[in-house]
A and B are shown apart, each in its own frame.
Chain A
Amino acid sequence: DAGVTQSPTHLIKTRGQQVTLRCSPKSGHDTVSWYQQALGQGPQFIFQYYEEEERQRGNFPDRFSGHQFPNYSSELNVNALLLGDSALYLCASSFLDRDHGYTFGSGTRLTVV
C-alpha cells in the first residue's frame, strides 16, 4: 500500500480534450507535488501545493493547473491535451515542505490519442 491514492489508474483521452487527475495524500501529509514521467524518462516536477496554494512550479505550460483542497487532497488539470502529454502522472505527498519524506502514489497512466 503506497499510502498515496491516485485516480484513475488509466485514462485515454483525445487531443484537445481536458483531463482531471486526483490524488489523496498519505494520512498526516499536507504537501502534494505532481510529477510527469514520460516513457523512458525520469519523473519531471510539475508543481507543488501546500496550504491550498501553488508554492513552486516546474517548466510546464499554463495548460497544466492544479488545486489543493482543505483536506489536503489535490487535483491536476490539463487542458487542450497534446499527444506529448501522454505519460505517467505521479503524485507525491510529504509532511511540511522540507521534510523530504516523499511518499509516491502508483500514478495515473494518461494516453492521448
Chain B
Amino acid sequence: AQSVSQHNHHVILSEAASLELGCNYSYGGTVNLFWYVQYPGQHLQLLLKYFSGDPLVKGIKGFEAEFIKSKFSFNLRKPSVQWSDTAEYFCAVNDMNSGYSTLTFGKGTMLLVSP
C-alpha cells in the first residue's frame, strides 16, 4: 500500500520568510501528486497538482511544487509567506495503476505565520 510522509507536523514562520514543506511517497510507479490546503474552519482546497510534464508546478496564491521522481518527493514552496497562509497543508498521491482516482494523504503540516 502507498504511504505519504510529510516531514514536519508543525512549522512556525514570520511573514516574508520562505517556506518549504517536504513530502515523500512510497510508490514507485506512475502517480499523480497533489497539495491541498485547509484554512481554519474551511474545507480542503486544491493548491496544485502534478500529472505529467514540467516537474515544477505552479499553483494558486504563489505556491509551487517540484516533483523529483528519483527522490519520490513533491515538496511545496513559497518564496514569501503571508499571515493569511496560516493553515494546514496536506500532500496526497494517487496511484495511477490502481484504476481509480482515490487519494492517499499525508498526516499534514500545520503552518503558523506570525505577523
User: A55–B100 contact, CB under 8 A?
Assistant: yes
User: B32–A33 contact, CB under 8 A?
Assistant: no
Size class of the A contact interface (CB-based, 8 Å): 20 to 34
Which chain A residues lie closer than 8 Å to B51 at the CB level? 100
Q: Known contacts A42-B4, A43-B105; is A105 also within 8 Å of B43 by CB?
A: yes
CB distance from A6 to the nearest CB of B (A): 9
User: A58–B101 contact, CB under 8 A?
Assistant: no
User: A104–B49 contact, CB under 8 A?
Assistant: no
User: B42–A106 contact, CB under 8 A?
Assistant: yes
> How many chain B residues have a CB neighbour from A under 8 Å?
26
User: A102–B46 contact, CB under 8 A?
Assistant: yes
Whole-angstrom CA separation of A55 from B49 in the bound complex: 24
Q: Is B90 an interface residue (CB 8 A)?
A: yes
The interface stretch among A15-23, A62-70, A72-80, A90-98 is: A90-98
Q: Is A24 an interface residue (CB 8 A)?
A: no
0/1 interface trace, chain B 76-115, chain A, CB 8 Å (1 if under): 0000000000000010101000101111111110000000
Q: Which residues of B contact A (CB under 8 A)?
A: 4, 6, 9, 32, 34, 36, 42-46, 49, 51, 90, 92, 94, 98, 100-108
Which chain A residues lie closer than 8 Å to B4 at the CB level? 42
Which chain A residues lie closer than 8 Å to B90 at the CB level? 42-43
User: B43–A104 contact, CB under 8 A?
Assistant: yes
Whole-angstrom CA separation of A48 from B100 in the bound complex: 9
Beyond the given A42-B6, A45-B102, A99-B101, please list 12 additional residue pairs across the A-B interface where CB-CB is below 8 A. Answer: A2-B43, A33-B102, A42-B90, A42-B92, A42-B106, A43-B103, A45-B103, A56-B100, A94-B101, A98-B100, A100-B34, A102-B103
Which chain A residues lie closer than 8 Å to B9 at the CB level? 40
